[in-house]
Amino acid sequence: MEPPAVPKRSARPQSVLFMCGQNVVRSVMAQALAKHLFGKSIYVASAGVIAGDADPFVIAVLDEIGLDVKKHRPQSVEDLEEYEGLSFDLAITLSPDAHHRALELTRTNALGVEYWPTSDPSREAGNREQRLDAYRAVRDELEQRIRARFRQP
């Protein structure tokens, strides 16, 4: 008798949680992009290690491509667990602190974890346009990675 097949990393999950430090920049972008690109075929949510405050640059760069996140309210992993539960197939972590938190969650949840190191554009210095360019670069990088990871085989 053969052992059961182990799902490949490239298997398309049914539910994905994007995680970053505060759920205000990277994970918000990733959630909005994944929902836009894959609609109802994948359940998508986002959370942070802690809940921060909304970032107007995220709203601006997503608005440029027709995505509205003005109603997004930052939430921590604990908030999400309390209101929705953590029954996700996959957590994609976008920052080191989120990755460590996701690995902790695997102790009590059947959760796959992928680490996508992503720069934090909120640390960019410069004028408004330079800062927006940093956010656009992260947005575009996330869009490419999401398209590649979740496209149908």
Ranking 57-61, 105-109, 122-126, 129-133 by mean pLDDT, the lowest is 105-109
CB 20 within 8 A of CB 35: no
Q: What is the pLDDT of residues 14-58, one digit of tens each?
A: 999 999 999 999 999 999 999 999 988 999 999 999 999 999 999
Rg, Å, the chain Cα set: 16
pLDDT (average), residues 72-86:
87
Half-sphere exposure of 24 (CA within 13 A, CB side): 14
| pLDDT at position 10 over 70 | no
Q: Is the pTM above the cut of 0.85?
A: yes
Structure tokens at 97: 């602190």
**Could you write out the DSSP letters of every residue in 104-116?**
HHTTTS--EEEE-
Beta bridge mates, 93: 19, 115
